[in-house]
């Protein structure tokens, strides 16, 4: 009842004309930023913090928070239309969103992404209001040992993303883990695998890798198709809105993705990338048509988009309840809190009720604003695919190059992106999945640091990973996941062999009858 009264009080605070204006401004700027690969919510919030000097703290924090979830809301647009994820979390949306767009369902896919984001955002804000404190208490039990086990489990599920070859998928994972070791070692301060290049001392930039693997590799596919005469303009087919059948398939995925995303957001350090990955894997595991994933399954868009947006709400659990940022963007927002002389934490609900409940209520209003902003643009944005291939090719290159160069203003990043574009082209030719490499790169640094911290705490005793019930359970789940992937592929291959043998035998019988 206290939470319900708090929400009603917050709605009264957030519904004032001034606060509505700043919420609208924040979500609009966030949506625009999400269409530009390379900026992201953290950088977008940091760039606009100076604009808030002298503003009312409640208005300023509503605007900055609106930028955060506005960025996550619109990240699917370039992923679906241009095969270019704007951030790490949008990688999962690419896997099925772009194939759906190539089938002429771009408008419907954008619509389902917008509705998924809206529903997940509303459910996430509700969960934030009612279960923030209990979830924060549970997440405090996670230390380096538990994080290492959790990431091992996440990487073990990569079998669901690897197509028909588990070996190729694991090769991509380990290549990503190897890339994650490039840079200066945080414990010893020694450069590792940098080839003497100072630009690699600050690790391999994720944006460079993702632009190369997806955007530049897509440009190479378009050039190859144009020269071969096999590339044709994609037309939007059917209704702009999604069909009843698509909605029936997407609806349960949205609810499951929202739950996974909020839980991952409530655990500090996991982020929307892991949430999107786990929700995608879950949907493929329980789907009646797992073979459609990667080729245009609507659940493969709805679940990751829901998880990503619910994660933003979960990230505020630690910020508001414990005063600990749960993600990079909430760390920047926490800096804005401190700049205004406000200390987030358990006492914030008592000392600043207008701020806390007004901020939570503004997320409800902001999600409605985002839906009203994005849905009318679905038909217009989908027409990007009508652009001639030569113009579209240049558009992708311009967006990708601008995003890569703006990150550190270094031409070296453009050459590195070109290198990974060649790698992405080779991956496509040899049917090697790209997503496992990206997840190895994203999670590899945290995996290594958690492993070393756990061994440091235990004085080098590896049994520390089995003494923790949570870590032992997660490692057991990881082993079961790998074994299940191997067993299912062997079963599938043996079934295929039996079918081939039966067909050969039937052909022999038919030939004998003719003789």
- 3 contacts 356 by C-beta, under 8 angstroms: no
Residue 341 has a CB neighbour count (10 Å cut-off) of 7
DSSP state of 204: -
What is the structure's pLDDT at 385?
57
CA geometry: angle at 291 spanning 287 and 292, to 5°? 80
For residue 439, how far is the Cα from the chain centroid? 10
Q: How far, in Å, CA of 421 to CA of 111, rounded?
A: 30
The sign of the torsion formed by the CA atoms of 86, 272, 363, 114 equals positive
| Stated pTM of the model | 0.66
Strands (E), 170-210: 183-184, 191-192
Q: What is the pLDDT of residues 174-196, one digit of tens each?
A: 888 899 888 888 777 788 888 88
Give mean pLDDT, residues 429-441: 79
**Token couple for 86:** 């704007």
Q: What is the pLDDT of residues 304-340, one digit of tens each?
A: 888 888 888 877 876 777 666 666 677 677 777 877 7
**Token couple for 513:** 């009858």
Furthest-apart CA atoms within the chain: distance in Å: 95
Any idea which of 47-51, 203-207, 428-432, 460-464 has the lowest mean pLDDT? 47-51
Q: What is the pLDDT of residues 212-227, one digit of tens each?
A: 887 787 777 777 777 7
Q: What is the pLDDT of residues 57-85, one digit of tens each?
A: 888 888 888 888 888 776 777 777 777 66
- 82 contacts 221 by C-beta, under 8 angstroms: no
Contacts with 60 (C-beta within 8 Å, 6 or more apart), sequence order: 22, 52, 336, 340
Q: What is the pLDDT of residues 104-137, one digit of tens each?
A: 777 788 888 888 888 888 888 888 877 765 655 5
Which is higher by pLDDT, 323 or 421? Answer: 421
**Token couple for 121:** 């955002």
Q: What is the pLDDT of residues 488-512, one digit of tens each?
A: 667 666 665 566 566 666 666 766 6
For residue 261, how far is the Cα from the chain centroid? 10
With cut-offs at 50, 70 and 90, classify the pLDDT of residue 201: confident
């Amino acid at each position: 009842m206290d939470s319900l009264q708090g929400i009603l009080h917050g709605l009264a605070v957030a519904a004032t004309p001034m606060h509505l204006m700043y919420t609208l401004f924040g979500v609009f700027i966030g949506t625009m930023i999400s269409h530009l690969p390379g900026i992201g919510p953290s950088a977008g919030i940091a760039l606009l913090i100076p604009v808030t000097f002298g503003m009312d703290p409640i208005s300023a924090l509503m605007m900055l928070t609106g930028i955060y979830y506005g960025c996550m809301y619109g990240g699917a647009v370039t992923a679906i239309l241009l095969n270019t994820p704007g951030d790490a979390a949008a990688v999962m949306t690419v896997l099925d969103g772009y194939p759906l767009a190539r089938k002429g369902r771009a408008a419907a896919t954008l619509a389902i992404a917008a509705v998924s984001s809206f529903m997940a955002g509303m459910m996430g804000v509700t969960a934030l209001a009612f279960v923030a404190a209990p979830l924060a208490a549970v997440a405090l039990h996670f230390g380096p040992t538990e994080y290492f086990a959790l990431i091992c489990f996440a990487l073990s599920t990569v079998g669901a993303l690897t197509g028909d070859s588990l070996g190729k998928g694991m090769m991509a994972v380990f290549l990503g883990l190897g890339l994650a070791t490039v840079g200066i070692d945080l414990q010893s301060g020694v450069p590792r695998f940098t080839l003497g290049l100072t630009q690699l001392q600050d690790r391999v930039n994720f944006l460079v890798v993702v632009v190369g693997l997806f955007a530049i590799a897509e440009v190479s596919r378009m050039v190859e198709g144009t020269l071969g005469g096999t590339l044709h303009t994609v037309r939007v087919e059917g209704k702009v809105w999604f069909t009843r059948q698509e909605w029936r398939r997407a609806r349960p995925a949205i609810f499951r993705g929202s739950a996974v995303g909020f839980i991952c957001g409530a655990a500090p350090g996991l982020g929307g990338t892991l949430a999107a990955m786990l929700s995608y894997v879950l949907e493929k595991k329980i789907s009646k048509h797992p073979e459609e994933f990667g080729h245009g399954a609507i659940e493969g868009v709805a679940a990751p988009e829901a998880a990503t947006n619910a994660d933003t709400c979960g990230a505020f659990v630690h910020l508001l309840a414990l005063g600990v940022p749960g993600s990079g963007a909430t760390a920047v927002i926490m800096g804005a809190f401190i700049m205004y002389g406000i200390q987030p934490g358990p006492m914030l609900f008592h000392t600043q009720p207008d701020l806390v409940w007004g901020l939570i209520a503004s997320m409800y209003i902001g999600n409605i604003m985002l839906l009203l902003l994005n849905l009318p643009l679905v038909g217009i944005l989908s027409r990007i695919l009508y652009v001639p291939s030569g113009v579209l090719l240049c558009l992708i290159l311009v967006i990708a190059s601008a995003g890569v160069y703006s990150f550190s203003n270094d031409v070296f990043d453009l050459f590195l992106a070109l290198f990974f574009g060649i790698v992405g082209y080779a991956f496509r030719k040899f049917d090697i999945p790209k997503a496992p490499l990206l997840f190895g790169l994203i999670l590899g640094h945290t995996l290594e640091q958690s492993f070393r911290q756990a061994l440091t705490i235990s004085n080098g005793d590896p049994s520390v990973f089995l003494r923790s019930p949570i870590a032992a359970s997660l490692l057991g789940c990881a082993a079961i996941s790998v074994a299940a992937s191997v067993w299912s592929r062997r079963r599938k291959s043996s079934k295929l062999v039996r079918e081939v043998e039966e067909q050969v035998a039937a052909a022999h019988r038919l030939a004998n009858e003719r003789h």
